[in-house]
Amino acid sequence: MEWADDIYAAFKDAGINQVAYVPDAGHKRLINACIADNDIQTVSLTTEEEGVAVSAGAWLGGDKCVLLMQSSGVGNCINMLSLTETCRFPFVTFVTMRGQWHEFNPWQMPMGTTTKLALETAGLLVDEVDDPNDVGPRAAAALHKAFVGAQSTALLLGQRLVPVKTFGK
C-alpha cells in the first residue's frame, strides 16, 4: 500500500489543498496522510456526488480539490458530473476498484465492471493502473491533466493494489 504515499506526494507537488472523500479501505492510508496534513482540508462526505460539487466550489474559490472514492460511488456521481462538464471545471478523482480481482462480493460487480464506461460516458478522461510502481507517475499525470490541461479526469486504481477482502470466508 506504499503507492498511497506516491499519490500523496503527487498531491503536494500539484498544490492540492482540499481532499473530499467517502471512507474507503483502499484509500485509508492516503486519507489518513491528508487528514494529518495541515495544508489540506479534508471533507468527509455522506455520498460521492457531494464531492463533485465540493470540487467545483473549491475551484470557484481558488482551491484545488481531489475526490477519493470507491468504484461503487461512481454511479452516485453521474448527474452531478454534468456540473463539471457544462462548466468545464478541472475535476479529478482517484477511484479504488472493486469487482475486478478476487472479489468476494457479487454486489460489487455491476459498478465495478462498468466504472470506466460510466465515467467515459459522463465525459471524463479515464486512466487505469494496477502496477504499484506506476501509481505515482500516473497520479501526477492525472493531476496535470486536470489542473494544467483543464480536463475532467479519473485514475482507476486496480483491485490488485489493495488487500483481498474476505469477511473471514
Partner 1 sequence: MSERAEQFPLHRRDVAKTLLQARDDMLIVTGLGSTNWDFTAAGDQPRIFPLWGAMGGAVPIGLGLALAQPHKRVMVATGDGEMLMGIGALATVAVNAPKNLAICVFDNERYGETGMQTTHTASVTDLALTAKGLGIQDADTITDETSLKAHLDTITGADGPIFRVIKVRAEKLDFVLPSKDGVHLKNRFRANLLGEGAL
The sign of the CA dihedral 145, 148, 149, 154 is: positive
Q: Is 38 a binder of partner 1 (CB under 8 A)?
A: no
CA distance 163 to 138: 21
Measured CA distances, 117 to 71, 123, 140, 169 (Å): 12, 10, 22, 31
Q: Is 20 a binder of partner 1 (CB under 8 A)?
A: yes
Q: Which residue has the cell 479501505?
A: 25
Least distance CB 107 / partner 1 (angstroms): 21
Q: Which helix (H) or strand (E) holds 67?
A: strand 65-70
Applying the rule CB under 8 A, the residues between 115 and 154 that interact with partner 1 are: none
Which of 32, 82, 105, 133 binds partner 1 (CB under 8 A)? It is 82
Which of 50, 96, 116, 151 binds partner 1 (CB under 8 A)? It is 50
Segment near partner 1 (CB under 8 A); pick from 6-14, 37-45, 113-121, 139-147: 37-45
Q: Is 41 a binder of partner 1 (CB under 8 A)?
A: yes
3-class SS of residue 24? coil
Which of 32, 44, 121, 133 binds partner 1 (CB under 8 A)? It is 44
Which of 38, 61, 167, 168 binds partner 1 (CB under 8 A)? It is 61
Helix 28-35 and helix 3-14: axis angle, to 10°? 40
Interacting residues toward partner 1 by CB under 8 A = 17-18, 20, 41, 43-47, 49-63, 65, 79-80, 82-83, 86-89
